[in-house]
């Protein structure tokens, strides 16, 4: 599926359930949707800003116009389930005119195209609700294609009817497999479909304008986007949700609300059952019934999930390891505020046992690069920051007689660039940390601000596909200086800098509210001259869980800036031998070959991969139930093998896992523990091998 339709255009996932069964679809009043004067002024400013100040200077021409058309259609109908070939043929007259519409400030074609979509969607909803009058036969062997994002457009209404017949049947089968009786199935689906029509009829001129302008910004690169005046206000609310609520950043993918990121230190993170890419299909308040939210607008789902601190919210979730025909799980969370203390760097001391003996490894987990800007501005002596907290931890660790330090940056999406620079300075004596090139081509080098060094012992850094931005700067610097061995998965690959501009500051009249524009203004480069953009940081020792790394992060985004390079900065590396890291890698590969923990993890990774590659799903109930049983049994078998290896009792079913009191019972904590323990063993091997390099030669002989 195109990542473009998963991110910038959440507006196309349409929302909230209404009461009543077999509600009548009422066609919307074809009142004129036209561009307002505010939108005309906003368009003028957006075109100017992107032409003059964006890092990627792209000419607004016919080629861009064709791309805008494609992305606008993709935004409105990402699954190609509403529009027909005849509609697209009619839209061809705009194919090379949208660039002129933007430059001439005449953007009414965007509204004309949208009105056709609105008509087609209402027709589809009426057809779907009529289908609910009949009984579905789940004993017929046929298949449904859930993801039509790259399929051919329907040639006529008959083809659309067949697509929707299978869609409605699949929706009904999903609910049947989830335990809903026939009356409940009809009730849930009739409300779901009716709300699609209701919601499309409520689209305002601002909604349509934002969708169209974002089709334009997405032709430049994926981190440039426009927020209308209403979306700007909602954006602030959603940002506060990340700090108070369940602690999860959400987005819309087709008609599902998908977890984009679990916020460190929040209820979802501490609970451990909600994971990135899980799909939220229902939301309940306390003991109240769960409300189906498939097809809801993102803001309305957020409103249901958000609530006062201390109250309980229940989520019905389709895990990322299951396709759209998979089994659901129920997660109960107590809403709470995410406190700075819970996001702060924390330490844990582990015993890593290898063939060379037992070693004491200190793990420092850094969920984000944070700083108390207000405290710093006030001159508070004890204001909190990543670097200050890690410095304090390192001072405390001197009393523990540790053999090495492992910095865990998994899931760290970035934060303060200054903190990434200062944190690097704790582990090197002096030198450059990162290079920043602006849109004019000028390069600025950020140096370690502190000439001292806090810790000069053995060091490793653990990263994954969600380690981004500031995390990549720190990990890249540690790798370039040969200061640490990098372990884990290739990182996200976001090496760009964005600026948010309030367009209302440039309004001609005080009453104008023109929204906000976020656009890319600079790019990061490592001190070796290579960009972190696109490629990310590739670990020295890559975990086998990274089998689909090329489908993750910046590498999967359309129009992402490519990898690039500049002249290396002037710096001096340490003398960590390549042979030492190679020997540690061979030890790691040998160790995990028959490891029950990695057997479990790789089985889950494979399940996710298979679900992602499954193009069609069966509409035969017996086959679907059989496949679900196979998936559940496979997970349970792998989990029990690991539990037995750790001296734990076997589980009767996966529901028993949620009732266990130990951290090992939690799937996310289990994966976390397995990977962190192996990273500690890798560092222990490096420590042993560096103390006696004769072990490297002996190891090579043994391997032969």
State the Cα–Cα distance between residues 130 and 122, nearest whole angstrom.
13
Residues 171, 325, 464, 480: which is the catalytic one?
A: 480
Residues 187, 494, 504, 685: which is the catalytic one?
A: 494
CB count in 10 Å sphere of residue 287: 7
Is-catalytic flag, 469?
A: yes
State the Cα–Cα distance between residues 607 and 130, nearest whole angstrom.
36
State the chain's mean pLDDT as an integer. 85
The pLDDT assigned to 184 comes to 92
Question: Among 139-153, 200-214, 222-236, 552-566, where is mean pLDDT lowest?
Answer: 222-236
> pLDDT for 502-514, tens place per residue?
998 887 766 567 9
Q: Is the pLDDT of residue 52 over 80?
A: yes
CB count in 10 Å sphere of residue 135: 8
Burial class (CB in 10 A: 0-12, 13-18, 19+), 234: middle
DSSP string, 15-46: ----SSSSPPP-PPP-------HHHHHHHHHH
Q: Is the pLDDT of residue 545 over 90?
A: no
Cβ contact 344:333 at 8 Å: no
Q: Is the pLDDT of residue 189 over 90?
A: yes
State which CATH number among 3.30.390.30, 3.90.226.10, 3.40.50.2300, 3.40.640.10 fits the domain covering 340-574.
3.90.226.10
Query: In Å, how far from its chain's centre is CA 133?
Result: 39
Q: How confident is the model at residue 663 (pLDDT cuts 50, 70, 90)?
A: very low
Angle at 478 between CA 472 and CA 480, to 5 degrees: 95
* Token pair in block for residue 80: 């190609």
Q: Is the pLDDT of residue 473 over 90?
A: yes
Angle at 674 between CA 580 and CA 535, to 5 degrees: 60
What number does CATH give the domain 234-337?
2.30.42.10
State the Cα–Cα distance between residues 495 and 473, nearest whole angstrom.
9
> pLDDT for 579-608, tens place per residue?
899 999 999 999 999 899 999 898 888 887
State the Cα–Cα distance between residues 416 and 233, nearest whole angstrom.
24
Average confidence (pLDDT) over 617-626: 93
> pLDDT for 347-368, tens place per residue?
999 999 999 999 999 999 998 8
Measuring CA to CA, which residue among 682, 670, 576 is closest to residue 275? 670
The pLDDT assigned to 323 comes to 57
Q: How confident is the model at residue 479 (pLDDT cuts 50, 70, 90)?
A: very high
Which residues touch 537 (CB under 8 Å, ≥6 apart)? 463, 467, 472, 475, 476, 479, 486, 490, 491
CA distances from 62 to 56, 71, 96, 98, 109 (A): 18, 14, 5, 8, 15
With a pLDDT cut of 90, the percent of the chain lying above it is 55
Question: Among 17-31, 37-51, 370-384, 632-646, where is mean pLDDT lowest?
Answer: 17-31
Q: Is the pLDDT of residue 71 over 80?
A: yes
Q: How confident is the model at residue 1 (pLDDT cuts 50, 70, 90)?
A: very low
State the Cα–Cα distance between residues 118 and 134, nearest whole angstrom.
26
Residue with token string 């002596």: 381
Residues in the chain: 704
The pLDDT assigned to 294 comes to 82
CB count in 10 Å sphere of residue 548: 15
pTM of structure: 0.83
Rg (CA), the chain: 27
Q: Is the pLDDT of residue 405 over 50?
A: yes
> pLDDT for 371-401, tens place per residue?
877 777 787 778 889 999 999 999 999 888 8
State the Cα–Cα distance between residues 300 and 196, nearest whole angstrom.
13
The pLDDT assigned to 250 comes to 83
The pLDDT assigned to 238 comes to 41
State the Cα–Cα distance between residues 563 and 550, nearest whole angstrom.
14
Average confidence (pLDDT) over 630-642: 87
Is-catalytic flag, 137?
A: no
Residues 416, 469, 471, 504: which is the catalytic one?
A: 469
Question: Among 97-101, 243-247, 269-273, 300-304, where is mean pLDDT lowest?
Answer: 243-247
State the Cα–Cα distance between residues 219 and 586, nearest whole angstrom.
44
Identify the three-state secondary structure at position 317: strand
Domain layout of the chain by residue ranges: 4-224, 234-337, 340-574, 596-703
The pLDDT assigned to 232 comes to 58
CA distances from 678 to 543, 666, 673, 675, 682 (A): 10, 18, 9, 5, 6
Q: How confident is the model at residue 449 (pLDDT cuts 50, 70, 90)?
A: very high
Helix (H) or strand (E) holding 634: helix 621-645
The pLDDT assigned to 634 comes to 86
Which residues touch 609 (CB under 8 Å, ≥6 apart)? 547, 548
The pLDDT assigned to 23 comes to 40
Q: Is the pLDDT of residue 621 over 90?
A: yes
Which residues touch 512 (CB under 8 Å, ≥6 apart)? 37, 38, 41, 504
The pLDDT assigned to 338 comes to 66
With a pLDDT cut of 70, the percent of the chain lying above it is 87
Q: How confident is the model at residue 344 (pLDDT cuts 50, 70, 90)?
A: confident
State the Cα–Cα distance between residues 230 and 66, nearest whole angstrom.
28
DSSP 8-state code for residue 506? G
Burial class (CB in 10 A: 0-12, 13-18, 19+), 669: middle
Q: Is the pLDDT of residue 654 over 50?
A: yes
Average confidence (pLDDT) over 223-227: 94
- Positive/negative CA dihedral, 678, 414, 394, 541: positive
CB count in 10 Å sphere of residue 552: 18
Is-catalytic flag, 661?
A: no
CA distances from 230 to 41, 189, 198, 299 (A): 16, 29, 19, 11
Cβ contact 334:314 at 8 Å: no
Identify the three-state secondary structure at position 559: coil
- Same fold across 234-337 and 340-574: no
State the Cα–Cα distance between residues 286 and 643, nearest whole angstrom.
33
Cβ contact 580:690 at 8 Å: yes
């Amino acid at each position: 599926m195109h990542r473009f339709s998963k991110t910038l255009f959440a507006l196309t996932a349409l929302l909230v359930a209404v009461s009543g069964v077999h509600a009548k679809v009422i066609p919307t009043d074809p009142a004129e949707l036209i561009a307002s004067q505010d939108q005309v002024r906003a368009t003028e400013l957006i075109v100017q800003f992107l032409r003059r100040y964006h890092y990627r200077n792209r000419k607004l021409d016919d080629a861009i116009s064709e791309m805008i058309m494609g992305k606008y259609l993709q935004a409105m109908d990402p699954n190609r389930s509403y529009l027909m070939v005849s509609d697209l043929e009619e839209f061809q007259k705009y194919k090379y005119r949208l660039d002129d519409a933007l430059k001439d400030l005449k953007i009414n074609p965007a509204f004309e195209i949208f009105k056709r979509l609105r008509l087609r969607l209402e027709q589809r909803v009426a057809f779907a609700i009529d289908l609910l009058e009949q009984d579905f036969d789940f004993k017929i062997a046929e298949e449904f294609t859930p993801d039509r994002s790259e399929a051919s457009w329907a040639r006529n209404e008959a083809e659309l009817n067949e697509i929707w017949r299978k869609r409605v049947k699949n929706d009904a089968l999903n609910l049947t497999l989830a335990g809903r009786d026939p009356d409940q199935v009809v009730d849930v689906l009739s409300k779901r479909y009716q709300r699609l029509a209701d919601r499309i009829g409520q689209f305002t001129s601002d909604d349509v304008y934002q969708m169209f302008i974002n089709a334009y910004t997405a032709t430049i690169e994926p981190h440039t986007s426009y927020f209308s005046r209403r979306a700007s206000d909602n954006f602030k609310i959603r940002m506060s949700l990340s700090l108070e609520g369940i602690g999860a950043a959400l987005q819309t993918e087709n008609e599902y609300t998908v977890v984009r990121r679990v916020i460190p230190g929040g209820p979802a993170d501490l609970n451990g059952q909600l994971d990135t890419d899980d799909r939220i299909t229902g939301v309940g308040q306390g003991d109240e019934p769960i409300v189906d939210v498939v097809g809801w607008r993102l803001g309305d789902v957020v409103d249901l999930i958000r609530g006062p601190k201390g109250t309980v919210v229940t989520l019905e979730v389709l895990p990322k390891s299951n396709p759209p025909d998979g089994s659901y799980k129920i997660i109960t969370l107590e809403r709470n505020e995410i406190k700075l203390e819970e996001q702060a760097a924390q330490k844990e001391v582990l015993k890593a046992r290898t063939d060379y003996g037992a070693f004491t490894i200190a793990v420092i987990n850094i969920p984000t690069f944070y700083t108390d800007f207000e405290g710093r501005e006030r001159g508070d002596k004890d204001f909190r920051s990543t670097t200050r907290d890690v410095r304090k931890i390192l001072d405390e660790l001197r009393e523990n007689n540790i053999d090495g330090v492992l910095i865990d940056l998994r899931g760290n999406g970035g934060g303060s660039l200054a903190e990434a620079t200062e944190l690097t300075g704790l582990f090197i004596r002096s030198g450059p940390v990162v290079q920043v090139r602006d849109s004019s081509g000028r390069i600025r080098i950020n140096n370690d601000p502190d000439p001292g060094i806090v810790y000069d012992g053995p060091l490793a850094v653990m990263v994954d596909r969600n380690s981004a931005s500031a995390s990549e700067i720190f990990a890249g610097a540690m790798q370039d200086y040969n200061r640490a061995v990098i372990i884990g998965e290739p990182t996200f690959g976001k090496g760009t800098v964005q600026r948010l501009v309030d367009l209302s500051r440039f309004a001609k009249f005080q009453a104008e509210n023109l929204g906000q524009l976020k656009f890319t203004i600079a790019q990061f480069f490592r001190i070796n001259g290579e960009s972190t953009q696109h490629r990310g940081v590739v670990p020295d020792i890559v975990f086998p869980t990274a089998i689909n790394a090329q489908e993750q992060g910046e590498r999967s985004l359309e129009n992402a800036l490519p990898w690039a390079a500049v002249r290396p900065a002037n710096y001096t590396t340490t003398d960590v031998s390549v042979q030492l890291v190679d020997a540690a890698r061979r030890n790691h590969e040998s160790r995990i070959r028959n490891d029950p923990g990695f057997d479990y993890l790789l089985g889950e990774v494979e399940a996710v991969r298979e679900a992602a590659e499954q193009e069609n799903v069966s509409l035969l109930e017996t086959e679907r139930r059989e496949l679900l049983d196979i998936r559940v049994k496979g997970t349970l078998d792998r989990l029990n093998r690991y539990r037995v290896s750790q001296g734990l009792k076997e589980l009767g079913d996966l529901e028993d896992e949620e009732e266990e009191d130990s951290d090992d019972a939690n799937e996310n904590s289990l994966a976390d523990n397995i990977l962190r323990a192996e990273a500690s063993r890798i560092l222990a091997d490096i420590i042993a091998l560096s103390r006696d390099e004769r072990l490297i030669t002996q190891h090579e002989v043994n391997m032969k």
